[in-house]
Amino acid sequence: MILIADAGSTKCDWIGINEQKEPIFKVRTRGINPAILSNKQIMERLTECHELAEIKDTVTEVYFYGAGCGTVISQTEVKAVFQLFFKKATYLQVLEDLDAAVHACTKDAPGIVSILGTGSNCCYYDGEKIITRMPTLGYTIMDDASGNSMGKLLLRAYFFNQLPEHLKTKFEAEFDIDPGIIKENLYKKPNANAYLATYAKFLFQHLEDPFVQELIKSAIESFVDTHINLYLEEAKKYPLHFVGSIAYFSQKQINEVLNKHNMKAGKFVRRPIDELIHIPLRVNI
């Protein structure tokens, strides 16, 4: 079996295909991001999935596209874990999640491709190669318009008493907002970015609320001012594609912000995994 995966910090989608590229296996595990997980933690997330454990010895090739896999060091670390878990695999390829996003959106046509999920990222694809103009430094410095940044904005709005009363009441009913518990999750427990992103779900449950719409739009404005601004000339010529759950559920707000900047949205893809089976095997994008 050939196994393909698209991973973020919160979740990882796996699909297994046969030699005819027909899907024969699907599963979702917890996220795998080497930037925030140790090799031991990555192995734990593999072994805890019974479905993966059952088929691991039938896997001959693995194509993994993940957040935090943009450096040789991170790619090597993930490969080392996979070599131990998928012991019968004779070929392992680890690439950044941007590679998967580009394939899912562009079909070899130039465009700006952005990921808005638990984290965020952006690149320009010229039709042949991916061009990035910034390093990815994670949720403490970057990740504008991501799930974790929107979760952070929501928490700030609550504690600075900026939430309208009707939203404040609903927020308190849904979450334990004890400061001690929040600080423990942010500063003592792993995966603080994924923890922050859990709060973003509240925004999309109340998407018709004017306050929520403005909060989301402010996050997207920040993304345009920082990430998209690095590709300003290209953004005037080519469509801007978006991948990830945050982007998928923020389409209206994204279109409004892009229209304001005279930019044109392209595709919105919630999950690129189903498109990855069409990537030429053993050939990088």
Confidence of residue 276 (pLDDT cuts 50, 70, 90): confident
* Residue 252 identity: K
pLDDT surpassing 90 at residue 20:
no
Delineate the domains of the chain, giving CATH numbers in brackets.
2-100+273-278 (3.30.420.40)
pLDDT for res 28: 96
The stretches of the chain forming alpha helices (DSSP H) are 39-47, 50-55, 72-85, 97-106, 147-159, 165-174, 179-187, 192-205, 210-226, 232-237, 245-249, 251-260
CB atoms < 10 A from the CB of 152, how many? 20
Which tokens is 106 given?
């562009």
DSSP string covering 100-125: HHHHHHHTTS-EEEEEESSSEEEEEE
Across residues 200-223, what is the average pLDDT? 98
Question: In which residue are the tokens 């991501």 written?
Answer: 146
Which tokens is 170 given?
């609903």
pLDDT surpassing 60 at residue 31:
yes
pLDDT for res 274: 80
Question: In which residue are the tokens 């899912």 written?
Answer: 104
pLDDT tens digit sequence for 92-133: 999 999 999 999 999 889 999 999 999 999 999 999 999 999
Across residues 235-250, what is the average pLDDT? 96
Task: Label residues 88-127 b or e (16+ Cβ within 10 Å = b).
Answer: ebeebbbbbbbbbbbbbbbeeeebbbbbbbbbbbbbbbee
Confidence of residue 285 (pLDDT cuts 50, 70, 90): very low
pLDDT for res 280: 61
pLDDT for res 281: 61
pLDDT for res 282: 57
pLDDT surpassing 90 at residue 136:
no
Torsions phi, psi for 28 (to 5 deg): -120, 130
Task: Label residues 234-252 b or e (16+ Cβ within 10 Å = b).
Answer: bbeebbbbbbbbbbbbbee
pLDDT tens digit sequence for 37-60: 999 999 999 999 999 999 999 999
pLDDT surpassing 70 at residue 283:
no
% residues pLDDT > 90 (the chain): 87
Angle between the 147-159 and 192-205 helix axes, to the nearest 10 degrees? 70
C-alpha angle 151-154-160 in degrees, rounded to nearest 5: 140
